[in-house]
Amino acid sequence: MNHKTIVVGGGIVGLSIAWELVRSNQTEVFLYEKKQVGSQASWTAGGMLAPISELGFQEDDIFEFGRANLFVYKEYLHRVSIDANLQLPLELDPNGALIVATRRDDKDVLIRQFEFYKKRNLNVQWLQTNELREKEHLLSPTVYGGIYIPEDTQIENRELCLALKQAFLNCGGNLVEHAAVYSLYVEDSMCRGITLDSNRNVLADGVVVATGSWANYLKDMKIRPVKGQLLILEMKEKLTHVVRSPRIYLSPKSNNTLKVGATSEEVGFENYPTAGGMLDLLKYAWETAPCIYDYKFLELDKKEIYDLHLVMVEAVTNAIVHGNKLDGEKSVHVTCRITEDGLLLEVEDQGNGFDPTVIPSPLDAENLLKVTGRGIFLMKQIAQNVSYRFSTHGTALQIVLNRKKKQNQTE
Ligand SMILES: Cc1cc2nc3c(=O)[nH]c(=O)nc-3n(C[C@H](O)[C@H](O)[C@H](O)COP(=O)(O)OP(=O)(O)OC[C@H]3O[C@@H](n4cnc5c(N)ncnc54)[C@H](O)[C@@H]3O)c2cc1C
């Protein structure tokens, strides 16, 4: 195959295009990403797929587009899950969404919205306060009614980014991370490739610009950045539906987290959280579901950061020194993901493996003063589970750090 395509930008858009292109088998695909794929808006987002909830009064085209996309999303997730070799396939949330009136004057707004939906024959239901609270008992008793929208849904967007990356690689895509594209390389009025930061040109038959908010830097596309702030809480009692008010959304995820989003601010590329942004999100979330008052902010505390650091240093050192035997031609692949069991780290080397049953114990008298040989012992003290998978390609060490269990153990 001598056709080559370059995709610039590895958000959900660039990843999806690059993966579809590579699986078409008609072109070699190189994805260039200035940071890590899936680390920008696609990682921060709430994951709402809500063409009905977000339908504005004069947005017919975008609504039809969003709704048509929703019909193919299930099949898209199915194909990504297969190509990424996921044990648990990605799925759409089947519970639908609620939009509730948390203030008296919200009710009139929502009634108008409901009538607008009805005129378009959309599948929606008006629910009184008690009916809403039967569906979602953690809603505030003071809500003034609202709309149930069974068709709107959500995804785990972070899982989707990770899966798309894996699917792209499994299908033979070439990923170049930490490589900023400086400009398109144009000759005789034709785009012939890209120019990297280092002034090096890379030629290609086709270039796709998927750089999200930064698109204007490569090509004049009249795209502007809009800042969104979102916060993540750990749920004590679980909300079961996406809940919206006219001001925010609450999006409960299967890993027990609750995303509260999102502000919408015209402040250019400013990207830090502000006190005002957090204040608004918390205030509006609390008036919708007062239970969030006791939810924990999801921030790692210092002990957890220390444990995580220690485990990573031991695991990666073992992989380089003992697994790959310091062979510079071999690499170590590290994956980290949040699952229902906790934080799952996987460190994969390309060595010949070893017999875990014959590792000397660092607690034996003759080993007590040795400064090496304690890595696996330390990891086992900190992590809930440490296991190995041996294959002809190398050894994969899997470590589960379960924050909840660890806390209970120390209590
Ligand atoms: C707080 C928040 C909540 C949101 N919630 C939702 C929601 O619930 N539902 C929804 O549908 N949408 C939501 N969105 C919007 C959604 O996140 C974006 O529409 C979507 O992620 C855009 O994807 P993307 O791939 O275009 O952009 P990005 O994910 O930003 O990816 C663009 C990539 O291009 C890379 N890049 C840029 N310039 C270069 C360069 N010169 N060279 C190489 N790489 C480059 C960047 O590093 C980045 O990784 C939300 C956004 C925010 C901020």
Alpha carbon distance 257, 45 (integer Å): 14
Return the higher-pLDDT residue of 150 and 382. 150
Q: In this predicted model, what pLDDT tens digit does every residue of 18-62 receive, in sequence order?
A: 999 999 999 999 999 998 899 899 999 999 999 999 988 778 888
Which value, to the nearest 10 degrees, does the dihedral of the CA atoms of residues 123, 126, 132, 136 take?
20
pLDDT in tens, 168-177: 999 999 999 8
Cα 225 to middle of ligand 1, angstroms? 10
Instruction: Report the candidate in 337, 259, 318 with the shortest Cα–Cα distance to residue 90.
Output: 337
Task: State the chain's mean pLDDT as an integer.
Answer: 90
- Single-letter amino acid code for the residue at 38: G
Nearest residue CA, atom 37 of ligand 1? 211
pLDDT of residue 19: 98
pLDDT of residue 150: 97
Q: According to the model, what pLDDT value does residue 302 have? A: 56
Q: Is the CB of residue 175 below 6 angstroms from any atom belonging to ligand 1?
A: no
Over residues 395-410, mean pLDDT: 68
The pLDDT, as a whole number, for residue 410 is 37
Distance CA 174, CA 179 (A): 13
Is 403's pLDDT higher than 90? Answer: no
Question: Which of 259-263, 280-284, 317-321 is least confident?
Answer: 317-321
Global pTM reads 0.78
The confidence band for 343, taking pLDDT boundaries of 50, 70 and 90, is confident
Nearest CA to ligand 1 atom 28: 11
- State residue 335's pLDDT score: 87
For residue 261 and ligand 1, the question of a CB distance below 6 A is answered with yes
By DSSP bridging, strand 125-127 and strand 146-149 are antiparallel
Predicted confidence at residue 407, as pLDDT, reads: 45
Say yes or no to pLDDT of 81 above 70.
yes
Whether 195 lines ligand 1, by a CB cut-off of 6 Å, is no
Q: Is residue 35 within 6 Å of ligand 1 at its C-beta?
A: yes
CA–centroid distance for 368 within its chain = 43
Tell me if 164 CB under 6 Å of ligand 1: no
48 lines ligand 1 (CB under 6 A): yes
Residue 273 has pLDDT above 80, yes or no: yes
Long-range contacts, stretch 374-382, CB < 8 angstroms, 24+ apart: 375/314, 375/315, 375/317, 375/318, 376/314, 376/318, 378/310, 378/311, 378/314, 379/311, 379/314, 379/315, 382/307, 382/310, 382/311
pLDDT at 299: 57
Using DSSP's 3-state secondary structure scheme, residue 370 falls into coil
Looking at the chain, how many residues does it have?
A: 411
CA distance 85 to 62: 33
The pLDDT tens digits for 348-358 are 999 988 887 77
Nearest to 66 by CA among 122, 113, 10: 122
Residue nearest to atom 41 of ligand 1 (CA): 181
* Residue 371: per-residue pLDDT: 63
Lowest mean pLDDT of 128-142, 191-205, 373-387, name the range: 373-387
pLDDT at 328 over 60: yes
pLDDT over threshold 90, residue 307: no
Tell me, using a 6 A CB cutoff, whether residue 13 lines ligand 1: yes
User: What residues does 336 pair with on adjacent strands?
Assistant: 345
Write the CATH number of the domain with boundaries 302-410: 3.30.565.10
SS3 of 62, please? helix
**Distance, CA of 177 to CA of 11 (rounded, Å):** 12
Domain segments of the chain: what residues?
4-86+156-218, 97-151+227-297, 302-410
pLDDT of residue 408: 44
Strand-strand pairing, 296-297 and 333-339: unpaired
- How close is the Cα of 240 to the center of ligand 1, in Å? 27
Question: Is pLDDT at 404 greater than 60 in this prediction?
Answer: no
> How many Cβ atoms are within 10 Å of 71's Cβ, its own excluded?
9
Higher pLDDT, 85 or 383: 85
Q: What pLDDT is attached to residue 409?
A: 43
186/373: higher pLDDT = 186
- State percent of the chain over pLDDT 90: 70
Least confident of 60-64, 125-129, 372-376: 372-376
Helices (H) and strands (E) in the chain, counts: 11, 21
Confidence class for position 364, pLDDT limits 50, 70, 90: confident
Q: By the 8 A CB rule, do 397 and 322 touch?
A: no
CATH architecture assigned to 97-151+227-297: 2-Layer Sandwich (3.30)
Residue pLDDT, tens place only, 232-268: 999 999 999 999 999 999 999 988 999 999 999 999 9
Say yes or no: domain 4-86+156-218 is CATH 3.40.640.10.
Answer: no
User: How is residue 372 written in tokens?
Assistant: 């090496």
End-to-end CA distance of the chain: 60
